[in-house]
Structure 1
Amino acid sequence: MKFPSTFILSLLATVALAADLGGREISVGSDTTYPPFEFVDETGTIVGFDVDLVNAICERIGCVARFESTAWDGIFPALAAGEFDMVASGVSITPERAEVVEFSEPYHVVTQAITVRVADADLTFDDLVADEGRVFGAQTGTTNAFFAEDAFGRDRLNLYDTFSQAVQALLNGDVDGVVIDSVPADAFAAEYAGSLVVDIRGLGEDPLGLVFPIGSDLVDAFNEGLAEIEADGTLEALKLRWFVAED
């Protein structure tokens, strides 16, 4: 079969424009206390949805990801200082953050949720707001913490370095609920089934993106790879693998 010369030129141009980082190693900063997005398994390996996401993109664009555990507090200054090439850590895309970093296109949208002890499973959001004796937990510097402060007031909010610590505080009775994204909320509720439940959902939507320093040459390449894994079904398969189906 013969093809018009214009088609061949177009095809060659498309191939030429395809991202290829030539096997480049990419260091990825991640707060690895945030299942199922990123966490350390029993073998000491960093695993999770974001890990598989970045690795799948790297397969398409010719790079090798090396994940590094880092604390959430200070993760963006560390990125700007060049401690790693990018961040993959379930990061919500916000206008304020977009002033100091560059984001990929969104790869998932989460809603904010509140996890409580099973004894409080029937309480509504209005119940939680009205009961001024109830205290809530969230991870410092997150959109969840900002939402919780607006909803309940700073004096009813305990901030923690990690969501794992906030969830442990809930189990210990130190707080009455944890404001957290819906996906990790479901993961923690599954881990502590019979003790915790996701009581409130849909408190606002947050698109998640991969994060790069301003001016990074990786943004376009990762957006291209992200588009590829979305088009071929890989992205959806990763969500089915890692995310607990909501009730």
Structure 2
Amino acid sequence: MKTLLIALAMTALAAGVSHAADLGGKLVKVGSDTTSPPMESVDPASGQIVGFDVDVVNAICAKINCQAEFVTTGWDGIFAALDQGSFDLVASGVSITDERKKAMDFSDPYIVNSQAVLMRVADQGISLDDFKSQGKKLSAQANTTDAQVAEGIVGKENVIAYDSFSASVIALKNKDVDGVVINGANAAAYEREFAGELVVAIKDLQSDPLGLVFRKDDANIAAFNEGLKAIKDDGTLDQLIGKYWGLK
């Protein structure tokens, strides 16, 4: 995915870190909506939470001496749960937006993502202009930048937002909608999962930087930014991007 190349370029901007922060082995709980491979999902064989975000947080913790415990949490309540202290941060492919920054704090960006449109294979010739001009319907997960992008394409009246991404996919398969706006970082995984039925037919829509999310004025943000900078400097972040998306 070409926008992920931006994330690789970001690593070159980081300066060396001479003294890493030390959280003293602290256990940090991490809220995550674990339904979005390869960013985060539950491995059916082991029952463990796995994915890119998991590896990024664990790599940061290795630099700043902390231990991460991931907690599966539904997207619709994840920020409220963070605010109430159910966990210490959120790592769930969260786009950094000005609106969200009013209510929460973010780490520095660790990757750049772009939205795409998942469609039925039989309809993959439908263009973005067709969606705009023919009153076609899109679905997306509620309260996401995906939903905002969908509204920008077809208008709010033609967007059906669901509490979960899986419900959006079911609506597409049932022909209740003509497409699903999807986080581009997850696109290939869903295309493989529904091979022969669904395809990512429109790519590289709005691009957003992703960050880890903290409560306002959290004292640990500086340490996590330092750890993030360290994994950019030593190539760990590049290696993880290569692991999940085949980019180096």
TM-score, length-scaled by structure 1: 0.89
Match of 2:91 in 1: 88
Mean Cα deviation higher: 168-177 or 26-35: 168-177
CA distance in 2 between counterparts of 1:184 and 1:34 reads 6
Identity across the alignment (%): 52
CA distance in 2 between counterparts of 1:106 and 1:188 reads 24
Q: Which runs of 4+ in 1 moved over 4 A?
A: none
CA distance in 2 between counterparts of 1:49 and 1:14 reads 26
1:113-135 residue CA offsets vs partner (Å, 9 max, x unmatched): 11111112222100121121x22
Gapped regions of structure 2 (runs ≥ 5): 1-16
CA distance in 2 between counterparts of 1:110 and 1:185 reads 11
CA distance in 1 between counterparts of 2:230 and 2:169 reads 36
Structure number, greater radius of gyration: 1
Shift of 1:244: 6.4
Written as runs of structure 1 = structure 2, the 5 A alignment for 1:65-214 is 65-132=68-135, 134-214=136-216
Q: Please point out which of 29, 46, 50 is paired with 1:47.
A: 50
TM-score, length-scaled by structure 2: 0.88
Shift of 1:56: 0.7
- The question of whether the paired residues in 1 share the 8 Å contact of 2:131 and 2:137 is answered with no
SS in 1 for 2:98: coil
SS in 2 for 1:89: coil
Shift of 1:45: 1.2
CA distance in 2 between counterparts of 1:183 and 1:109 reads 9
Shift of 1:14: 4.0
Shift of 1:206: 0.6
Shift of 1:69: 0.6
Q: Please point out which of 211, 215, 225 is paired with 2:227.
A: 225
Return closer, same or farther for 1:102/1:207 CA change in 2, 3 Å cut-off.
same
SS in 2 for 1:228: helix
Gapped regions of structure 1 (runs ≥ 5): 1-12
The Cα RMSD (Å) is 1.5
* Letter matched to residue 79 of structure 1: L
- The question of whether the paired residues in 2 share the 8 Å contact of 1:182 and 1:201 is answered with yes
